[in-house]
A and B are shown apart, each in its own frame.
Chain A
């Protein structure tokens, strides 16, 4: 593979594009870093954030929906108003506000701290921002289920709240949760890309598809490959997850809609 050395960045500092050979297979960016390598590591980061954020959203939203829909009363009031508040805040504004604030200071949970440049920061932010989009419709379903006869029957048998929630209510909202998961992953990856593009997501030098696109856009007329390659991967990944999600929805078919960001 030791072909002749080629200049992957022109003397003026403009990347020249893919070499299609082993080293610098997809060319280099303006800092002379291998695009193919960054694409792989960036993809890992983007997907990891998408999955971790979705896990956070799903766990929080399920707990909130079960608790507020089942117990009603004051706790429902507090949780629902909190959800309304996050809902009223434009996703992207809330995301960059939290992203900018936390990437400077990091997070301190007492037991452990998360540094500002950690990948967990965007994952946590995206996870939290999307909670109401899932918690609100799920809560509505729980409200309906708690009035059903089988819940009453379980209570008559002497089942406690925890058992009713886990054995009776949760299985009945499980299909909705499953339908939400692919949509959440796709939206989380898109939001990560948007935040990173605006500098409020993955912090350099860590790569992600969003940061790579953001770097590439600055060089757009001269070095198109820097935008096209990570952009293409991002669209393919999100499209794939969306198609998969459509299939899942057709198979399980509750009327689930996820609102989108711009």
Chain B
């Protein structure tokens, strides 16, 4: 266990370092991406730009600039190029919206993914299975932003049941929070439900032919008990590890499209606007945050499974 944790922490440090270098390089190699121009404005004189470059260290070699930026990130004093606001404060402000989206949608897509996957597998080859397959295929073929736009049009403009985007704090207005989140939750979930139900369906169909399932049936256990205690427990493993990764990606700004369409003002939307303005520090922090969550959650998922299933051993 200690060995597992140490190895995961080491690999996390390597991943975070590599990701930050990659992000830094992407934005550094662009020819007309001089940050001094963005800080000084398009009409700034060459002298001001030079002064800004000197102040911020843009005239130093890349590796030194990288060092300065990383130092600022870890001391919590990193500011964005475009608005010169503290990036960490900005992300702290945006995190509640992203967490609300991720947690709500995560529960919905896991629950419905399992439900539809089980129904499909139990009814394999029959009408219910075929129609769920078709629905799942449509779900994974529809871009999130298109679905979001259609749902907004139908429920916010035509029927006027739900508000047309935006985020309301849970603490200030719980009901408003709920009505603002319900459309984004479902829109973000559709793709995952389609995907998870397909994965689970094929896993169940593989497991159902195992010897221990036949043994359980021979013992005279009820179909329901066999399904829940013998089949599901084994076929859920890949679904849960997928869930950990996807959930972490959504927290780490992966739900850019959903956040943008519904104007939730979350971390993903912040990343999108920062990238548009070629603003390196926020993108750097957000990608590192995302990678951090991916590593932590995949470790948590591994631990949970090792606890649940004694056959699984923890390895680096």
Interface residues of A (CB under 8 A from B): 81, 84-85, 88-90, 92-93, 96-98, 100-102, 104-105, 186, 190, 193-194, 197-200, 210, 213-214, 216-217, 220-221, 224, 227-228, 231, 234-235, 238-239, 242-243, 246, 257, 259-262
Contact = CB atoms under 8 A, between A and B. Distances in A.
B135 to A, nearest CB: 11
Interface stretch (B69-77, B144-152, B170-178, B214-222): B144-152
Interface string B121-148: 0000000000000000110111111100
Contacts of B143: 190, 193-194, 197, 210, 213, 231, 234-235
A184 to B, nearest CB: 14
B275 A92 contact: no
Nearest to A249: B202
A248 B253 CA distance: 34
Given A221-B153, A231-B146, A242 B140 contact: yes
B141 A101 contact: no
B249 A90 contact: yes
Nearest to A98: B26
Nearest to B16: A88
Contacts of A243: 137
Contacts of A89: 19, 22, 287, 291
A198 B199 contact: no
Contacts of B255: 262
B276 A262 contact: no
Interface stretch (B53-61, B90-98, B257-265, B307-315): B257-265
Contacts of B286: 93
B290 interface: yes
B159 interface: no
B31 A93 contact: no
B300 interface: no
Contact of B142 (A81, A100, A198, A235): A235
Contacts of B199: 257
A246 B138 CA distance: 13
A93 B253 contact: yes
B30 interface: yes
A199 B260 CA distance: 12
B137 A242 contact: yes
